[in-house]
Chains A and B, each alone.
Chain A
Amino acid sequence: MKQYRVIGKSVPRKESWDKVSGRVKYIDDFQEVGTLHVKLLTSLYAHASIGKVDTDEAWKVPGVRMIVTGEDYPLLIGTTIKDRPLLAFDKVRYYGEPIAMVIADSEAIAIQAVSSIRVTYKVLPVVNSPVQAYQNDAPLVHEQVEQYQIDQDADGEGASGGIHPVPGTNIANRQGIRKGNIDRGFAQSDFIVEEIFSFNQSDHTAIETRCADVEIKKTGEVIIHSASQEPFEMKELISETFNIDEGKVQVHIPLVGGSFGAKTSVQLEPLAYVASKAVGGRRVRLRNSREEDIATSPVHIGLHAKVKMGCTKDGKLQAIKLHFLFDGGAYAERAIPVSKAAAYDCTGPYAIKNVWCDSLCMYTNHPYATDFRGFGRTEAAFGVERTIDIMANKLGMCPLEFRLKNAIQPGDTSPTQVLLNKSNLGDIRECLLQLKDLIDWDRGQRIDISDRIVRTKGISCAWKNGDPPPGVGAGAILTFNSDGSVNINSAAVEIGQGTKTVLTQMVAEKMKLSEDEVFIQMEVNTQMSPDNWETAASRTTFMSGNAVLRAVEDAIRQLKRTAAIILKVPVDELEVANKKVYKKTSPNISIDFSEIVYGFIFPDGKVAGTQVVGRGTYMIPGITDMDPVTGKGVQGPEWGVIAQAVEVEFDKRDNTFKLIRAVSVADAGTVLNYKGAETQVMGAMNMGLSFATREGFLYDDEGRVLTTQFRSYKVMHYGEQPEYIVRFIENPVKGAPFGSRGLGEHGIMGMPAAVANSLSLAANVSLQQLPLTPEFIWKTRLKAGEVY
Chain B
Amino acid sequence: MLPFNFEYYRPSSINEAVELFEKLDQDGKKPIYLSGGTEITTLGRLNQIFTKAVIDVKGIPECNALDFKQNSVVVGAAHTLTQVWESKILPLLGEACVKIGDRTSRNQITLGGNLASQIIYREAVLPLLLSNSTFVVAGIDGIHQISVHKIFKEKLLLKRGEFLVQIKVNGKYRNKPFFIEKKRKSERVDYPLITIETLKIDRSIRLAISGLCAFPFRSYEMEKELNKTGISLEERIDKAVLRIPAPVISDIRGTSEYRIFVLRNTLLDALIDLEGVR
Contact = CB atoms under 8 A, between A and B. Distances in A.
Given A108-B2, A111-B3, A654 B186 contact: no
Contact of A653 (B255, B258, B265): B265
Interface stretch (B153-161, B169-177, B188-196): B188-196
A514 B187 CA distance: 45
Interface string A698-734: 1000000011000110100101100000000000000
B252 A775 contact: no
Nearest to B268: A653
A115 interface: yes
Contact of A712 (B186, B188, B252): B252
Contact of A717 (B3, B5, B45, B188): B188
A282 interface: no
A107 interface: yes
- Please indicate which of the listed interface residues A108, A289, A714, A779 has the most CB atoms of chain B within 10 Å of its own CB: A714
B1 interface: yes
A108 B4 contact: yes
B278 to A, nearest CB: 12
Contacts of B188: 717, 719-720
Contacts of B255: 775
A773 interface: yes
A671 B245 CA distance: 62
B1 A107 contact: yes
A115 B188 CA distance: 35
Contacts of A115: 3, 47
B189 A108 contact: no
Given A711-B191, A775-B254, A778-B258, A694 B186 contact: yes
B228 interface: no
Interface string A566-580: 000000000000000
Contacts of A775: 185, 254-255, 258
Nearest to B42: A711
- Please indicate which of the listed interface residues B45, B254, B261 has the most CB atoms of chain A within 10 Å of its own CB: B261
Contacts of A779: 258
Interface string B1-22: 1111100000000000000000
A707 B78 CA distance: 31
A112 interface: yes
- Please indicate which of the listed interface residues A108, A115, A775 has the most CB atoms of chain B within 10 Å of its own CB: A775
A111 B3 CA distance: 6
Contacts of A698: 252
Contact of B187 (A112, A653, A654, A717): A717
A774 interface: yes
B262 to A, nearest CB: 8
A174 B5 CA distance: 52
A107 B185 CA distance: 35
A391 to B, nearest CB: 29
B2 A707 contact: no
Interface SS of A by simple majority: loop
Contact of A774 (B5, B186, B189, B191): B186
Interface string A753-778: 00000000000000000010111001
A112 B4 contact: yes
A693 interface: yes
A108 B3 contact: yes
- Please indicate which of the listed interface residues A694, A712, A774 has the most CB atoms of chain B within 10 Å of its own CB: A774
B190 A111 contact: no
B265 A714 contact: no
**Interface size bucket, B side?**
20 to 34
A93 to B, nearest CB: 23
A497 to B, nearest CB: 27
Contact of B3 (A112, A654, A774, A778): A112
B49 to A, nearest CB: 13
B198 to A, nearest CB: 18
Nearest to A713: B252
A584 B150 CA distance: 94
Contact of A773 (B1, B4, B186, B189): B186
Interface in B231-278: 252, 254-255, 258, 261-262, 265
Nearest to A710: B189
A638 B186 CA distance: 38
**Interface size bucket, A side?**
20 to 34
A773 B45 CA distance: 30
A61 to B, nearest CB: 10
Given A775-B254, A775-B258, A694 B1 contact: no
A107 B188 CA distance: 34
A107 B1 CA distance: 8
A714 B185 contact: yes
B242 to A, nearest CB: 18
B222 to A, nearest CB: 21
B119 to A, nearest CB: 10
B39 to A, nearest CB: 12
Contacts of B262: 654
Interface string B35-78: 00000000001010000000000000000000000000000000
B189 A707 contact: no
Contacts of A108: 1-5
A220 to B, nearest CB: 33
Nearest to B102: A717
Interface in B185-244: 185-191
A223 to B, nearest CB: 25
Nearest to A787: B261
A228 to B, nearest CB: 23
A335 B261 CA distance: 39
Contacts of B4: 108, 112
Nearest to A697: B252
Nearest to B187: A714
Contacts of A712: 252
Contacts of B5: 108
A257 B254 CA distance: 33
A717 B189 contact: yes
Nearest to A718: B188
Contacts of B252: 698, 706-707, 712
B187 A720 contact: yes
A714 B3 contact: no
A778 B187 contact: no
Contacts of B185: 714, 773-775
B273 to A, nearest CB: 15
A778 B261 contact: yes
Nearest to A707: B252
Contacts of A771: 186
Contacts of A112: 3-4
A379 B190 CA distance: 27
Interface in A513-570: none
Interface in A83-139: 107-108, 111-112, 115
A775 B46 CA distance: 30
Contacts of A693: 186
Contacts of B261: 778
Contacts of A107: 1
A587 to B, nearest CB: 59
Contacts of A111: 1, 3
Nearest to B4: A112
A196 to B, nearest CB: 22
A656 B47 CA distance: 37
15 contacts: A108-B1, A108-B3, A111-B1, A111-B3, A289-B45, A656-B186, A693-B186, A706-B252, A714-B185, A714-B187, A720-B187, A773-B185, A775-B185, A775-B254, A779-B258
Interface of B: 1-5, 45, 47, 185-191, 252, 254-255, 258, 261-262, 265
Given A112-B3, A711-B190, A775-B258, 12 more contacts: A107-B1, A108-B3, A289-B45, A694-B187, A711-B191, A714-B186, A714-B187, A720-B187, A774-B186, A775-B254, A775-B255, A779-B258
Interface of A: 107-108, 111-112, 115, 289, 653-654, 656, 693-694, 698, 706-707, 711-712, 714, 717, 719-720, 771, 773-775, 778-779
Q: Which 5 A-B pairs have the closest CB atoms?
A: A111-B3, A775-B258, A112-B3, A108-B3, A714-B187
